[in-house]
Chains A and B, each alone.
Chain A
């Protein structure tokens, strides 16, 4: 697999990680699904 494809996959993984962090935070702080 080429380095460029690997880099794209890693950027996608980082984006998913950020999204997962937001979901986990909202879930643990009890604000998941609650409108601000």
Chain B
């Protein structure tokens, strides 16, 4: 329902590379542990090497290093995958949970395979291995269940949920301003303990994941407030915060230097801090949730002949109009952001 903002959320390349290295390493180490366990179980399930004692059964060649390497390497790669996955977002931000479920799922399968499914005919099902296998699979299932909220929190839902567009309590001023401090790019937006950084992803035509996550959380909170019948004052307060974030995003989008597109860092250097006047007053004409996006007089149809930078500016104008139509931007914030973008457009022409 509602309108869309165009393209899906962007994933920073460096974060993706880290996530790919981390997840590939996790898979490699998990495979090593899985195969090592099977090699040991092939010789009876127990072995030993070294030490002052007489070894009854030596471990298969190389399994000591593959097992230890798999365990400690896996810990390292889970850490890397968690760092990179956090930038990718969605289910990929749950690298420890994914690793947990994969580890216990794979090892549980080994127990069940050797103890139940392919148990020796002469001994029959091994109860001990079967119990271990079931317990391991229960533990793996716990990790998968914990992943569900991450999968449901995929940022793409913001474009289709429309919950933010149905904000109640319009027309009331915010009690505290939003402070946007810039030092070229990125731009940091802070208010009441909420801080988000607008990276060059904005310039590339995407809302940053952090702000998108904040808006999603806000939408859910508002939906819960409506569903639970909270007081009008509570809904108004939530609506004010929502409007503040919308204004902050719009302003940040307008202030993010275009130099990031062209690679020129000269136009927006230096640090500054600005207190954004926040009215928290989305326009009274904002459409209700589910309504199609209104056509704005300021929207400009993309033309394939535009340069990349010009197209990004036009895309930004469209998103601003969309946010205004959904009630996330007040008229003043919209005009301020539009004026800044139009000035850049004129400068480019």
Inter-chain contact B66/A24, CB cutoff 8 Å: yes
Nearest neighbor of A11 in chain B, beta-carbon distance:
B23
Q: List 26 A-B contacts (CB under 8 A).
A: A1-B10, A1-B11, A3-B8, A6-B11, A7-B88, A10-B16, A10-B23, A13-B21, A13-B27, A14-B24, A17-B27, A18-B30, A20-B24, A20-B28, A21-B31, A22-B31, A22-B35, A24-B28, A24-B32, A25-B35, A28-B62, A29-B39, A29-B60, A29-B61, A30-B61, A30-B62
Let me know if B327 is at the binding interface, CB within 8 A: no
Shortest beta-carbon distance from B19 to chain A in Å: 6
Inter-chain contact A13/B24, CB cutoff 8 Å: yes
Task: Choose from B7, B23, B39, B70 the contact partner of A13 (Cβ within 8 Å).
Answer: B23
Interface members, chain B 1-28 (any A CB < 8 Å): 7-11, 13, 16, 19-21, 23-28
Chain B residues near A20 (CB, 8 Å)? 24, 27-28, 31
Shortest beta-carbon distance from A3 to chain B in Å: 6
Inter-chain contact A2/B27, CB cutoff 8 Å: no
Known: A3-B11, A18-B27. 7 other contacts (CB 8 A): A2-B11, A3-B88, A17-B24, A20-B28, A21-B30, A25-B32, A29-B61
Nearest neighbor of A29 in chain B, beta-carbon distance:
B62
Task: Choose from B11, B28, B63 the contact partner of A21 (Cβ within 8 Å).
Answer: B28
Inter-chain contact A1/B36, CB cutoff 8 Å: no
Shortest beta-carbon distance from B262 to chain A in Å: 20
Inter-chain contact A21/B29, CB cutoff 8 Å: yes
Distance, CA A9 to CA B31, complexed state (A):
19
Inter-chain contact B92/A17, CB cutoff 8 Å: no
Chain B residues near A29 (CB, 8 Å)? 39, 60-63, 66
Distance, CA A32 to CA B214, complexed state (A):
51
Main secondary structure of the interface of B (DSSP, over half): helix
Chain A residues near B32 (CB, 8 Å)? 21, 24-25
Closest 9 CB pairs of A and B: A21-B31, A17-B27, A17-B24, A29-B62, A28-B62, A21-B28, A13-B20, A13-B24, A17-B28
B residues whose Cβ falls under 8 Å from a Cβ of A = 7-11, 13, 16, 19-21, 23-32, 34-36, 39, 60-63, 65-66, 70, 88-90, 92, 154-156
Inter-chain contact B31/A10, CB cutoff 8 Å: no
Distance, CA A14 to CA B300, complexed state (A):
42
Nearest neighbor of B30 in chain A, beta-carbon distance:
A21
Question: A7-B92, A21-B28, A25-B31 given as contacts; is B16 within 8 A of A1 (CB)?
Answer: yes
Chain B residues near A2 (CB, 8 Å)? 7-11
Chain A residues near B155 (CB, 8 Å)? 3
